[in-house]
Structure 1
Amino acid sequence: MADFIAGALGGACGVMVGYPLDTVKVRIQTQRNYKGIWHCIYTTYKVESVSGFFKGMSMPISTVSVSSSIVFGVYRNFLYQWCKLRYGKTNIKPSKCDIFLSGYAAGAVQALVSSPADMAKVRLQTQIFGPCSVAAGPKYTGPINCLVTIVREKGFLGLYKGCSVLIFRDCNSFATYFLSYAVFREWFVAAEQSSSEFLGVLLSGGSAGVVAWSIATPMDVIKSRLQVDGVTQQKYRGVLHCITESVRQEGITVLFKGLSLNCLRAFPVNMVVFLTYEIILKQIKPFTS
């Protein structure tokens, strides 16, 4: 229970830190009218002002708390049960394989729960409407309206469009995420014996986030494109068609669109996530054990 609570608070703090860059990342991945990161930032601010960077944040700020709670809670509980099953006891240091498998399980469960909210987030982020926009008006007035509209147009399963890609992305990225955090923390603590644990958590969390997003970015691009597909017209028949058409039209580098931005965003966000998680866990664990 302590891990679920600490994970929820860590996720909420992470969203607030990284959401503006996440909006820029999604727009670069799904729209071809930007020349680069700075052009996207400039255009978004010019057309929609500061509020354009925070479109759809009300949904993630609540749902990411839930999904982050699920990730950390499932990870820790799966690891606990796995070690108990494999070794017959839980008070041992888990192997790297144990950590990887637990992260993989956490990613799968999280993706299934968060898919509808992620769909609403991406569609709201790519909806351009502001004082300088020529659009007649926004299609979606908010996260709930977005979800209701998708269900009305595509049915309930429309909320899970791109979910298979999301699962593939999250399973691999969270497995890498928790494994790299464990490895980096061992390195940083061993290398900096005189420094506080605080610094080790910051560096380990930030580095783990960068590694995880480096693995996740190709599938993140495809996932985002599938989620916005059909807002105005249908372009892709499925996952493989989306991959082949994207590569054919824009080259293999299209799969790494937003990689630098993902890594830039991942470091401070995951520094905050793991720091908050570790602090909260220490404070509440005595009351939940």
Structure 2
Amino acid sequence: MDISDFMIGGFAAMGAICFTNPLEVIKTRLQLQGELAARGSYVEPYKGIFDALITVIRCDGWSALEKGLVPALHFQFILNSVRLGVYKTAMNNKWMHNRNGDVSFFRGMLWGAAGGVTGSFCASPFYMVKIQLQARSNSKIAVGYQHQHTGFINAFRNILKESGFFGLWRGATGILPRVAIGSSTQIATFSKAKSMLREYEIVTQPILNTLTAAFGAGSVVALAITPPDVISTRLYNQGTDSFGKGILYKGWWDCAHKVFRFEGLQGLYKGFWANYLRQAPHSTLVLLFFDLLISARDKYQSI
């Protein structure tokens, strides 16, 4: 096990989120819009991705598109240092290969899920703060519960005061299925796609091979991850009662049931296109930066 694999995974994700955080803000707002309300029964301050971008800039200013960036950087580093570090370790030790020496899609899913679940649980407090900061907006366009945080540090202080230390992991049950599905799908698809593109000589140039495989992986992830992503956003952003418990949802299944009951299947896919436009380039950039950094390290060590 090479500890630098874990560090490189974290830095690769931090680089990617700097480019994709604005879409993360838009996705969060769209997912919270019309919470537990039937379609057509609520005001929609955001009519779509591009309208949401213009609305956020007009009402909250350009800087609002980078809301939650600081906790997002922390979350991405912790999550992906573990997730991609586990992936690289599994690849190096042939744990993702079958008896014929080929990369196994299902073993890739297993190791992707294992790394993703471990990393996301450790980073859960930062994800909560990220969601709550991204949701906070001008009252004219506010959606979802509005937490009165003034910044990154203030958010942690408020959560600790309201819910105690373990309150920082409230909603963690929501992110575990999200990351398990997303990470397993991404890692398995990326690894298999890279191997097949090389094997059949479709795309053999290293950087283009990584880009093509990563974009394909990101597209598949967006389809699989949106429902659990909506659920995790709702769980993390809901307000709390005097006992520090969520006021709308008791947990993952309760949230999924209520969203489907009141908003239908479409409710579970709110923000899909924002998620897709964010997920595909984010996955591409993370995996591209990861491969480039690994190659640069290996080249340096060989000198």
Map of 2:168 onto structure 1: 159
Q: Deviations over 1:111-141 (max 9, x none)?
A: 11111000000000000049x789xx97111
| Superposition misfits of 4+ residues, deviation over 6 angstroms | none
Q: For residue 244 of structure 1, report the CA deviation from its aligned partner.
A: 2.1
Taking only the aligned residue pairs, the percentage that are identical comes to 27
Q: Deviations over 1:201-226 (max 9, x none)?
A: 11111211121121111011011011
Amino acid at match of 1:204: A
Structure 1 window deviating more from structure 2 (173-182 vs 232-241): it is 232-241
Contact 2:107 2:188 in 1 (8 A): no
Does residue 1:12 correspond to 2:25, yes or no?
Answer: no
Q: For residue 189 of structure 1, report the CA deviation from its aligned partner.
A: 3.3
**Higher relative helix content:** 1
Amino acid at match of 1:20: P
Aligned Cα root-mean-square deviation (Å): 2.8
Map of 1:55 onto structure 2: 67
1:15-26 aligned at under 5 Å gives the runs 15-26=17-28
Contact 2:74 2:126 in 1 (8 A): no
Map of 1:105 onto structure 2: 114
Q: For residue 242 of structure 1, report the CA deviation from its aligned partner.
A: 1.8
Map of 1:144 onto structure 2: 153
**Which of these residues, 173, 177, 181, is aligned with residue 186 of structure 2?**
177
TM-score, length-scaled by structure 2 = 0.84
Contact 2:6 2:82 in 1 (8 A): yes
Amino acid at match of 2:150: T
Contact 2:10 2:79 in 1 (8 A): yes
Amino acid at match of 1:236: Y
Contact 2:69 2:130 in 1 (8 A): yes
Map of 1:274 onto structure 2: 287
* Paired residue secondary structure (1:251): helix
Map of 1:72 onto structure 2: 84
2-structure distance, mates of 1:194, 1:120: 40
Q: Alignment length, in residue pairs?
A: 283
Q: Which runs of 5+ in 2 are unaligned?
A: 35-43
Contact 2:112 2:183 in 1 (8 A): yes
2-structure distance, mates of 1:103, 1:27: 28
1-structure distance, mates of 2:179, 2:202: 33
Amino acid at match of 1:105: A
Amino acid at match of 1:176: T
Contact 1:72 1:106 in 2 (8 A): yes
**Which of these residues, 37, 45, 61, is aligned with residue 49 of structure 2?**
37
Does residue 1:211 correspond to 2:213, yes or no?
Answer: no
1:225-236 aligned at under 5 Å gives the runs 225-230=234-239, 234-236=247-249
Q: Which runs of 5+ in 1 are unaligned?
A: none
Q: For residue 191 of structure 1, report the CA deviation from its aligned partner.
A: 5.4
2-structure distance, mates of 1:54, 1:108: 26
Q: For residue 287 of structure 1, report the CA deviation from its aligned partner.
A: 6.0
Q: Deviations over 1:22-53 (max 9, x none)?
A: 10001100123333222322211111111111
* Paired residue secondary structure (2:95): helix
Map of 2:256 onto structure 1: 243
2-structure distance, mates of 1:125, 1:183: 35
